[in-house]
């Protein structure tokens, strides 16, 4: 649920800012929603409360009981309520000349998992991500292996052991035309500039005549277009804008192609299996390691 902007949000303000005389904090979560908060307003007014201070009600991790693991500051947490519920809450406060304070958590967000779009963008694009400036990341580490990379300490064992057990899984997300490596619930996006190695593998797995020649030509040209994307380390403003624009357009083309041609989607999924590393498949293990080494993050 995206947040309205401009005058529509100003209309939700309880009115002219005043210095709080007495505040009462409400902890919102799935078991105590904005509607529950609205029902309490008359009681709080009778207590002499001038301002109701709410815990964050922006979109957080599913099931969050505190709301401080925000994953999208531009949306309300659907477990807590809707904008209509918020309107009613603010209207109830306004009717009693009460103010509203909300903790919007400007200093940190919920990362890892797979639900913070800004964090996903940083993992995919590194220091040239359009959201990199919002995160406190040392891109020029004294450790040479971490220069231009983010250390992502999520593994439950040594990297080699995790890789050998096949716990790092490469997947193709056909609906968005994207590749990502998963470690349990954690999604690690693949740099779109690395897609060609996967798409070429997929092309080699297509049976002769499985798709029309013109579709095969388009598939090959799409792979070449991903390879021409500006490198994520190219910090020139024009290159950053070009990469951001073109990578998303190419993903949409790939997703559309998979809808038109099931054989291509099946071949791409089969190609990801060539990167299913485990002790019994050292070549695949090496291929997945090589792919991981070229990303903007290090496990």
Burial class of 242 by CB neighbour count within 10 A (0 to 12, 13 to 18, 19+): middle
Share of the chain above pLDDT 70, in %: 92
pLDDT at 4: 53
- CA 125, distance to chain mean position in Å, is 12
Q: Which CATH number fits domain 7-102: 3.40.50.720, 3.10.110.10, 3.90.1300.10, 3.30.750.90?
A: 3.30.750.90
Question: Is 151 a residue whose pLDDT tops 60?
Answer: yes
3-class DSSP state of 226:
helix
Please give the torsion angle defined by the CA atoms of residues 62, 65, 68 and 73, in that order, rounded to the nearest 10 degrees: 40
The pairing of strands 51-54 and 297-298 is: unpaired
CA 194 – CA 83 distance, rounded (Å): 41
Question: Is 7 a residue whose pLDDT tops 50?
Answer: no
Q: Which residue has the higher pLDDT, 14 or 276?
A: 276
pLDDT tens string 242-258: 999 999 999 999 999 99
Tokens 């009600």: give the residue. Answer: 57
pLDDT averaged over every residue in the chain: 91
Instruction: Give the burial string for 71-94 (b: 16+ CB within 10 Å, else e).
Output: bbeeebbebbbebebbebbbebbb
Q: Record the tokens describing residue 96, joined without a space.
A: 């009693």
pLDDT at 3: 52
Question: Is 213 a residue whose pLDDT tops 90?
Answer: no
Beta strands in 116-185 (DSSP E): 150-151, 168-173, 178-183
pLDDT at 196: 97
Q: How many CB atoms lie within 10 A of CB 247?
A: 23
Q: How many CB atoms lie within 10 A of CB 170?
A: 23
pLDDT tens string 256-271: 999 999 999 999 999 9
First to last CA, the chain: 33
The DSSP call for residue 25 is: E
CA 111 – CA 132 distance, rounded (Å): 13
pLDDT at 257: 95
**Domain boundaries defined on the chain:** 7-102, 137-298
pLDDT tens string 91-118: 999 999 999 999 988 888 889 989 999 9
Q: How confident is the model at residue 16 (pLDDT cuts 50, 70, 90)?
A: low
pLDDT at 281: 66
What pTM was estimated for this model as a whole? 0.85
3-class DSSP state of 41:
helix
């Amino acid at each position: 649920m995206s947040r309205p902007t401009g005058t529509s949000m100003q209309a939700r303000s309880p009115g002219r800012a005043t210095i709080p005389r007495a505040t009462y904090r409400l902890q919102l979560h799935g078991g105590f929603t904005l509607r529950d908060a609205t029902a309490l307003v008359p009681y709080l007014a009778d207590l002499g409360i001038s301002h109701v201070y709410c815990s964050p009600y922006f979109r957080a991790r599913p099931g969050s009981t505190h709301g401080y693991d925000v994953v999208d500051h531009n949306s309300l947490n659907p477990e807590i309520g809707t904008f209509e519920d918020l309107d009613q809450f603010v209207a109830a406060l306004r009717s009693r000349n009460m103010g509203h304070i909300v903790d919007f958590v400007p200093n940190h967000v919920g990362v890892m998992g797979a639900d913070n779009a800004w964090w996903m963008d940083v993992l995919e694009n590194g220091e040239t991500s359009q959201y990199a400036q919002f995160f406190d990341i040392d891109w020029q580490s004294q450790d040479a292996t971490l220069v231009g990379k983010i250390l992502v300490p999520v593994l439950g064992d040594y990297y080699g052991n995790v890789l050998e057990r096949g716990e790092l899984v490469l997947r193709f997300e056909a609906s968005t035309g994207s590749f990502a490596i998963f470690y349990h619930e954690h999604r690690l996006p693949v740099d779109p500039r690395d897609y060609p190695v996967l798409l070429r593998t997929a092309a080699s797995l297509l049976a002769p005549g499985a798709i029309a020649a013109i579709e095969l030509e388009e598939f090959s040209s799409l792979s070449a277009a991903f390879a021409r994307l500006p490198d994520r380390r190219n910090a020139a403003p024009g290159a950053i804008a070009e990469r951001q624009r073109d990578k998303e357009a190419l993903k949409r083309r790939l997703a559309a192609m998979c809808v038109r041609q099931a054989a291509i989607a099946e071949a791409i999924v089969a190609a990801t299996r060539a990167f299913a590393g485990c002790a019994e498949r050292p070549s695949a293990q090496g291929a997945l390691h090589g792919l991981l080494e070229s990303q903007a993050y290090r496990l």
